[in-house]
């Protein structure tokens, strides 16, 4: 398995005013549903998003105190604005991404 494609630069949007980090694991069914909801919501708000397989980022997950997957971090430059674990619905996501 080629791990390099899974090792994303989590900080690639570090200089953007608002961006998203979606943390998931491949075997998580809820993650797959949440990712689809996020994709639909983000077609409207169009924020930069980094999707990260957290299996390959244990240090970052520990540093950020990620409690479970899926997780969505809404970030302004290097400051976390919001953290969402329960995605609930597309309208809920839209409200939280605006």
Which strand (E) or helix (H) includes residue 88?
A: none
- In the sheet that 19-24 helps form, which strands lie side by side, from edge to edge? 49-53, 19-24, 71-76, 79-84
pTM value is 0.87
Task: Read off the pLDDT of residues 63-86 as tens digits, 9 standing for 90 and up.
Answer: 999 999 999 999 998 899 999 999
Q: Is 97 strand, coil or helix?
A: helix
Q: Check if the beta carbon of residue 22 is closer than 8 Å to that of residue 52.
A: yes
pLDDT at residue 2 in the model? 37
- Provide mean pLDDT across the span 52-67: 93
| CATH number of the structural domain 2-95 | 3.40.30.10
Task: Read off the pLDDT of residues 4-39 as tens digits, 9 standing for 90 and up.
Answer: 444 567 767 777 789 999 999 999 999 999 999 999
């Amino acid at each position: 398995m080629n791990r390099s494609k899974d090792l994303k630069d989590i900080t690639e949007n570090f200089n953007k005013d608002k961006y998203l980090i979606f943390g998931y694991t491949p075997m998580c069914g809820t993650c797959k549903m949440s990712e689809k909801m996020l994709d639909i919501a983000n077609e409207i708000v169009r924020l930069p998003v980094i999707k990260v397989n957290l299996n390959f980022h244990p240090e970052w997950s520990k540093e950020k105190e990620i409690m479970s997957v899926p997780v969505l971090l809404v970030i302004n430059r290097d400051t976390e604005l919001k953290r969402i674990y329960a995605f609930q619905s597309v309208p809920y996501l839209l409200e939280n991404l605006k």
